[in-house]
Chains A and B, each alone.
Chain A
Amino acid sequence: MAPQVWIIRQLTSMRVALMLLFVLGLLTLAGTLLSQVPDAIKGNQAAYAEWLSLMRPKYGGWTGILNTLGLFSVFSSIWFKGTLLLLSASVTTCSLRRFSGLWRTATRPRMIMTEAFFERAPHTARIASEKDPGAALAALRAAFRKNRFRVATERDGEDIQVCADRFRWAPFGRIAAHLSFVLILVGAVATATGGFRDESFVVPIGNRVDVGHGTNLAVEAKSFADSYYPSGPPRDYESRLVLYKGGTPVKTQDARVNHPVRYDGVTFYQSFFGPAVALRAKTSDGQVVFNQGVPLQYVSQDEKDRIGRFLLPQQGLKVFVVTPASGEVDPRIPAGETQLEVYRTDGEKPVGAQVLSQGRAATIGGVDFTFVREREFTGLIVAHDPGSTIVWIGSALLVLGLFTLFFFPHRRIRAVIRPGAGGSEIGVAAIERRNVTFADQFESLVEDIRRAVSGGAQPEKGGTVDA
């Protein structure tokens, strides 16, 4: 057997598809049960090693094995991605292969059925009518229409063969649902490889910060407010943002949880907040080289202090700003004061350090620093996700496909009208083995047909299709 034939045979094999689903289920279960490495430390070897050492008490001797197998990063492992890839190929191949069959069933059904079919189908009924075949067909058609069936007829000698369909396009929901799976994966790949996502975009209140990533956007945080219910839980976090494009203000909006700000494909989500310190730095000749808020977005290892940092590149300095964390006491730094630690950018040795109270200034490393006031910063997630639109289209297709397929199942009922003694003989049959309740529906339809053909309808010719 040629390799390509073997591959296609495997990809269209339901046994293989089921095995892939089984493996995917197991891997997802493993990813749910086992601790997963946080994304933030995946690229940092030292942090990764430290995380692994934290896992050792939990997983003991299995830690190394699980790590080697990639089970601490299941969803980015080769196993998971490979299974998804194979499953996508299987789904695509199966869908393409099925399409022509479904199309033929929906548009060009076999019209002539044998007498044996009308005798041996799982659901059959025989009805005698006093009407001639033309009138019986009109009555039959009316009964099917009443039950919202589309009717196609064809002459077979003296017989009239009838094919009645309801929801004949519904099986295409299967194709839509399967291909949507592939579409969602394409969207996920676009999300992972394109766009950007900054989860710690910090804007001190009163400052403007460039978004970067080639967007030419900047964000100014005008204000931040956090409110709480009387019983204590948070009620709302709200940042008043002004967006600038090329230096021109283009949008002013409050960013709140569940109410992000969107502009030009970039979305700003309210994520976190914290204290900031407004500082001014002047050189000895009076030139102001820094005058903005420094977000204290880091926490010291002992969790007693909040720390922020900024650079003075012209002066070759980096400055750390330290204040006691909320509710903590640091004997070195009195409440309401802040400590500046200044280092050379090319070295670890401190140039100087000083504790400042609000409004006070100090000279460190030849630069005059003034602690202007305490402020807040707002923390945003800034994201541009080119894959999400594809994911939403795929998701809509998936949901629509499944609901169409399962809630509007295709029903096909056959009938044959023959001239008989004193009128016509009508045979009705359907193949629907799986659905136990279909027997009731079939009976109800047959009753409608029986009533219709016993009434007085006008005759008509066969060989037409109702739209």
Chain B
Amino acid sequence: MLSLSQYCVFAGIVAVSLALICYVLAFAYGRIARVRVALAAQGSGGEVTTIALTDSSNGIAVFGTLTTWLALAFLSAALFFRWRATGHGPFANMYEFSVAFAWGALVVNAYFLRRYRQWAVGVVVLPIALAMLLYATTIPSEAEPLVPALQNNLLLTVHVATAVIAYGAFAVAFAAAALYMVQSRGARWGLPDRKVLDDLSYRAMLVGFPFLTLTIVLGAVWADIAWGKYWSWDPKESASLVTWIVCCTYLHARGARGWRGKRAALLLMLVFAATLFTYFGNLFFGGLHSYG
């Protein structure tokens, strides 16, 4: 079962890579087509206002989207087999958490893909998922038995699953913000409309923030049960609080002060930086989360 899980992870890596290649090709084809149409329009003295993607770029993008779903299916299967093999939620060490992080990014990406139909966001989300999967291949993947502190199947599963969804949502928000930032005024590079990206990143935050809050609260519940203290200022706890505070700042700045565009996008990038800091922080600072 563990081998099956690993095969699925490798299949997931291949599928994510293929999807990424498709998206990049679709983007490139779209760009070339736009340049051609623009040149033709200049030649004929016409004015270019809106240009649709060519059929070929759309076709490749659709293939990329299908492959993204396939990657999600492979990673879901990988987590399922791992769960069956170990008897607990597949979130107990950095290997499992990294695969789960990639899965979370793909799940949230798939949700927003259905809702907004903006495959270009995948051009940034997929490399993040791929990086997590490749990182997972570099660390020990053995299924170690659970140490006493982790022996709480329900909380282990729910606490980390909510974290995975939150981190995935922040990855999508970051992707939309990054695509927003690379568009200078008047130069869209064939990317989605900035207003759409701004809205998409905000909606992703509205998913991520409650899930991050739930993660922190469930972590406090678990800490109280296992260590007799709901908050110990452990580095991972503090880092997650930093992320939570940056999220709060973004939501208030956007909601009440009307921050949009670049300023909001920069804050979203900060949220994702804080997320990575929270994710990898325990590797540098130790503390109570030394296992993952």
Binding site for B on A (CB under 8 A): 14-15, 17-18, 21-22, 24-25, 28-29, 31-32, 36, 75, 188, 191, 197, 229, 231, 233-237, 256-258, 260, 267, 269, 271, 381, 383, 388, 391-392, 395-396, 398-399, 402-403, 406-407, 434-437
Contact = CB atoms under 8 A, between A and B. Distances in A.
Given A25-B242, A28-B241, 11 more contacts: A32-B239, A32-B285, A197-B229, A233-B147, A269-B226, A381-B228, A383-B228, A383-B229, A399-B210, A402-B210, A406-B206
Interface string B77-106: 000000000000000000000000000000
A25 B213 CA distance: 16
Interface in B193-227: 195-196, 199-200, 202-203, 206-207, 209-210, 213-214, 217, 220-221, 224-227
Contacts of A435: 199, 203
B233 A75 contact: yes
Contacts of B224: 388
Q: What 7 pairs across the A-B complex have the smallest Cβ distances?
A: A257-B148, A32-B238, A436-B199, A269-B228, A25-B245, A402-B210, A406-B206
Contacts of A25: 242, 245-246, 249
A407 B207 CA distance: 8
Nearest to B257: A14
B233 to A, nearest CB: 5
Contacts of A269: 226-228
B148 A22 contact: no
Interface in B240-271: 241-242, 245-246, 248-249, 252-253, 256-257
9 contacts: A17-B252, A28-B242, A234-B148, A235-B148, A260-B228, A271-B228, A391-B230, A392-B221, A436-B199
A21 B244 CA distance: 10
A109 B272 CA distance: 39
A232 to B, nearest CB: 10
A434 B149 contact: no
B235 interface: yes
A231 B145 contact: yes
Contacts of B248: 21
Among A14, A25, A235, A398, find the residue whose CB has the most chain B CB atoms closer than 10 A: A25
Contacts of B189: none
B257 A15 contact: yes
B292 to A, nearest CB: 14
B228 A267 contact: yes
Contacts of A17: 252
B252 A395 contact: no
A234 B230 CA distance: 23
Among A257, A388, A391, find the residue whose CB has the most chain B CB atoms closer than 10 A: A257
Contacts of B235: 32
A161 to B, nearest CB: 29
Contact of A14 (B149, B196, B239, B252): B252
Contacts of B210: 399, 402-403, 406-407
B225 A402 contact: no
B12 interface: no
Contacts of B230: 191, 388, 391
B220 to A, nearest CB: 7
Which of under 10, 10 to 19, 20 to 34, or 35 or more describes the interface residues of B? 35 or more
Contacts of B239: 32
Nearest to A437: B115
Interface in B145-189: 145, 147-149, 151-152
Contacts of B149: 257-258
A257 B156 CA distance: 14
B148 A18 contact: no
Contact of B228 (A188, A197, A231, A237): A197
Contacts of A191: 230
A241 B224 CA distance: 20
A235 B146 CA distance: 7
A254 B127 CA distance: 48
B281 interface: yes
B231 interface: yes
B280 interface: no
A28 B278 CA distance: 12
B47 interface: no
B252 A399 contact: no
B116 interface: yes
B213 A399 contact: yes
Among A75, A188, A395, find the residue whose CB has the most chain B CB atoms closer than 10 A: A395
A399 B217 contact: yes
B115 A235 contact: no
A147 to B, nearest CB: 18
B145 A31 contact: no
Contacts of A256: 148
A406 B249 contact: no
A407 B210 CA distance: 9
Contact of A28 (B148, B151, B199, B245): B245
Nearest to A406: B206
Contacts of B245: 21, 24-25, 28
A21 to B, nearest CB: 5
A22 B249 contact: yes
B220 A391 contact: yes
Given A233-B147, A402-B213, A18 B249 contact: yes
Contacts of A381: 227-228
A21 B249 contact: yes
A233 B144 contact: yes
A437 B263 CA distance: 22
A381 B210 CA distance: 32
A29 B241 CA distance: 9
Nearest to A15: B257
A285 B147 CA distance: 51
A152 to B, nearest CB: 27
Given A28-B238, A399-B217, A235 B145 contact: yes
Nearest to A22: B249
Contacts of B285: 32
B228 A233 contact: no
B257 A258 contact: no
A21 B252 contact: yes
Given A22-B249, A31-B238, A267-B228, A437 B147 contact: no
A285 B226 CA distance: 48
Among B116, B207, B245, find the residue whose CB has the most chain A CB atoms closer than 10 A: B245
Given A25-B246, A399-B210, A406-B209, A258 B199 contact: no
